[in-house]
Amino acid sequence: MTQYEFICNECFQHYEPDSKTLRCRTCRGTLSIKYKNMEDKSASLPCGPELTMPMPLPSISHYISLGEGKTPTVRMQKISDQLGIEIFAKLEFMNPTGSFKDRGTAMMISAIKLMGISEIVEDSSGNAGASLAAYASRAGIKAHIFAPSSTPSPKLNQIKIYDSILHTVDGTRDETTRAAEEFVKENSLVYASHNLSPYFVEGTKTFGYEMFNDLEPFPDNIVVPVGNGSLFLGIWKSITEQKNRGVIKNIPKLHCIQALNVNPIASQTPWDKSRISTTVAGGIAVGSPPRKLEVLKVIKDSGGYSDSVTEESIMKWQIKLAKHEGVFCELTSAAAFAGLENLVRKKEIGKGERVLVPVTGSGLKEAFPTN
């Protein structure tokens, strides 16, 4: 195993990894995985020709996989022409459970299994819950998934079919988190929070590692829909690792897109945590993202921009992607393209620049009227 420890993203205190340490015990900061030697390749994931990613597992045989990752990158010709830039989409909905979450879940569940844990709790707007349920069933781990009762039915059905115990909460995404946290305390269980677990972000890094093979030259911009920001942060971590190794020289700008209705990161004014608001982009309806400070730092360090998009523009782009490019994504994913349009209009992205957008989740997960 590549030796590693947890490190607090705020005060940089170090911790020995375990399943219950999800925040810094001193300052409550979020945690990341820090390898003691990045060049130690005793356990690493292959991410394309000649590129491997160190893993916090003893060997590849401990990695519980459903075939996640290695998603295709496709050119979006018509909308590129419309916006006057070069757009590439990495189709993350082509993961085993239909969203990018599978990258993080595979790593998190592998680590949890290795620790000998047999029962876990998670809260989710749907995609992470479905992903966790699938990998937990594969690993033989009992999972409790908390989700808002307003979650689209395809996602709730998906969670149930994998044999997880679904707890629906009549409340917001943030109230769902609190209900899960209480259940963890009451039952002394392990909280496998994809928002807090350092293993989850570690897994999403594979997206970034794959990018280096997918696109040559490397994109100038990456536009990501952000709720808690696990993919956003995983991409950034992969970029800094590759920069430190000398694999890349120029780093792309990372742009963060949120829904105008729920934009604690992109809002230009202080966000009222008690504010209850909903958005059609349920996957990014996170009012209190624990990794907010990390995301803000990445936007600053990469020279990126954060922006908010209207409900109308999100819905418009879902249709536009299907009709023009043959890509049917969930509304949350469409928000990134609505944001991209804004960024071009505001000249944050210049004419002819290359842009990569992860298409994070499948349109098949939306609740449409039945026939």
Binding site for a copy of itself (CB under 8 A): 65-67, 70-74, 91, 94-98, 133-138, 149, 151, 153-154, 156-158, 161-163, 168, 318-319, 322-328, 362-365, 367-371
Residue 371 and residue 364: Cα distance in Å, rounded? Answer: 15
Closest CB to a copy of itself among residues 295, 334: 334
Minimum distance, C-beta of residue 355 to a copy of itself, in the bound complex (Å)? 17
From the list 325, 319, 194, 343, the residue with the least C-alpha distance to 257 is: 343
Q: Evaluate whether 244 touches 38 at the Cβ level (below 8 Å).
A: yes
C-beta atoms surrounding 174 within 10 Å: 20
Q: Evaluate whether 326 touches 67 at the Cβ level (below 8 Å).
A: no
Residue 252 and residue 144: Cα distance in Å, rounded? Answer: 38
Minimum distance, C-beta of residue 99 to a copy of itself, in the bound complex (Å)? 11
Minimum distance, C-beta of residue 66 to a copy of itself, in the bound complex (Å)? 6
Tokens of 204: 């999403």
Which of 333-362 are b and which e, b meaning 16 or more Cβ less than 10 Å from the residue's Cβ? bbbbbbbbbbbbeeebbeeebbbbbbbbbb
Q: Which residues contact 323 (CB under 8 A, 6 or more apart)?
A: none
Report the run of H or E that residue 233 belongs to, with start and end: helix 230-244
Strand partners, 54: 44
- Rg over alpha carbons for the chain, rounded to the nearest Å, is 19
Closest CB to a copy of itself among residues 122, 325: 325
Chain-centroid distance, C-alpha 334: 15
Closest CB to a copy of itself among residues 153, 244: 153
Q: Which residues contact 60 (CB under 8 A, 6 or more apart)?
A: 43, 44, 45
Closest CB to a copy of itself among residues 173, 365: 365
Minimum distance, C-beta of residue 64 to a copy of itself, in the bound complex (Å)? 9
Closest CB to a copy of itself among residues 224, 321: 321
Minimum distance, C-beta of residue 63 to a copy of itself, in the bound complex (Å)? 12
Minimum distance, C-beta of residue 172 to a copy of itself, in the bound complex (Å)? 17
Closest CB to a copy of itself among residues 102, 202: 102
Minimum distance, C-beta of residue 52 to a copy of itself, in the bound complex (Å)? 17
Q: Are strands 31-35 and 4-8 parallel, antiparallel or unpaired?
A: antiparallel
Residue 215 and residue 313: Cα distance in Å, rounded? Answer: 28
Minimum distance, C-beta of residue 214 to a copy of itself, in the bound complex (Å)? 10
Closest CB to a copy of itself among residues 253, 365: 365
From the list 187, 237, 178, 184, the residue with the least C-alpha distance to 207 is: 237
Minimum distance, C-beta of residue 163 to a copy of itself, in the bound complex (Å)? 4
Tokens of 215: 């696109």
Closest CB to a copy of itself among residues 150, 177: 150
Closest CB to a copy of itself among residues 18, 163: 163
